[in-house]
Every structure is written in C-alpha cells, then in structure tokens.
Amino acid sequence: MVEARIHHTATPLSDGTLIVAGGNSNSGGLASAELYDPATGTWTATGNMTEARYGFTATLLSDGRVLVAGGAGNNGPLLASAELYDPATGSWTATGNMDGGRVAHTATLLSDGTVLVAGGGGNSGTLASAELYDPGSASWTATGNMDGVRGGHTATLLHDGTVLVAGGAGSTGNLASAELYDPGRT
C-alpha cells in the first residue's frame, strides 16, 4: 500500500478496483485513501476523507459511491459523521450525520438501496439502536432497535431482504444469539 494502516476498510468498487480508507498509523488516525487495481497490482493515492477515522464502516451504494459512517476520530472521540466517496471524481463529501457516534457497528446495503447501521459502541456503552441512511435524501432515520445491545457482530443481507444479525458482544459478554431485521416491518 502507499501508507501503512490498521483498523481501516477495504471496499470493492464497481469498476473492479478496491478502495482502502482511513485507519490508524504509527502517528495517529488517517484520513487518507488509496486504490488498488488488481489488473496491474498497483496502488495509487486518491482523495482524503473529510475526517480521520478508524473502526468505521464502508458500504458500496447502488450508484457506485461509497458511504463511510461513524468510527473514532483522531484522539478517540466517537464520530456521528458520514461521508461519501465518488470514484468518478476521487473526492469525498460530507453527508448527513447519524443520531450519535458509534464504533464496531455494522452497515448493510438493503434491497431498496438504503443502508442499515446497527449496534456498536456509543458514548454511553454498547448500543441496541439502529438507523437507516437514505442516499436519495442524504439523511438518517431511526428504525427498530435490536433485541439487546450488541457490538462487534455481523449483519448479512439474506435473499428474502431480511438482515441476519449474529454474535458480537453484549452486556453479559460474548453472544451466541442471532436476530432478524425485517425492513418491511419497521
């Protein structure tokens, strides 16, 4: 890579390249991003995010842009901010903020093009809350809470449009439980 980093994201883009963004380096949080081209095996720098962040999510949207949400900023504050990467211009722009900062959450692209962000750690501890990002309006809205607090879990879109949320850590330690989010019943 162009820059050493940990706690970053790697997101495949529609054109077959991969964007690696943010994370930490030996000198602190990173706002930098770079592209990997598997056809040539080369890395190139691209535009910097508007904020340094690590422990965030990155989701490829239906229109080819990438939504980055939450995480922790330089010196550790949890971020409620989100931003969009446009591969056509190589630039990042801020978009609507989530209700609150979160880290170790999940972000799942739903069948209707919205993004479900669920759980993770917030300023008051592990979260049960979830919210939806609408790329059309660049806004977030609260949706149904999970059955309990959960962070470090997985969230997978199933063929029927529901999302399976599994594992992670809750108020009693590591979890073996799973639950379904049904976007039609929020």
**What are the backbone dihedrals phi and psi of residue 184, each rounded to the nearest 5 degrees, phi first?**
-80, -5
Distances, alpha carbon 28 to alpha carbons 19, 20, 54, in Å: 20, 17, 10
d(CA 50, CA 47): 9
β-pair partners for 122: 125
Residue listed under structure tokens 């170790």:
104
How many of the other CB atoms lie within 10 Å of CB of 6?
10
d(CA 72, CA 55): 6
d(CA 137, CA 67): 13
pLDDT by residue, tens only, the chain of 186 residues: 999 999 999 999 999 999 999 999 988 889 999 999 999 999 999 999 999 999 999 999 999 999 999 999 987 789 999 999 999 999 999 999 999 999 999 999 999 999 999 999 999 999 999 999 999 999 999 999 999 999 999 999 999 999 999 999 999 999 999 999 999 886
pTM: 0.95
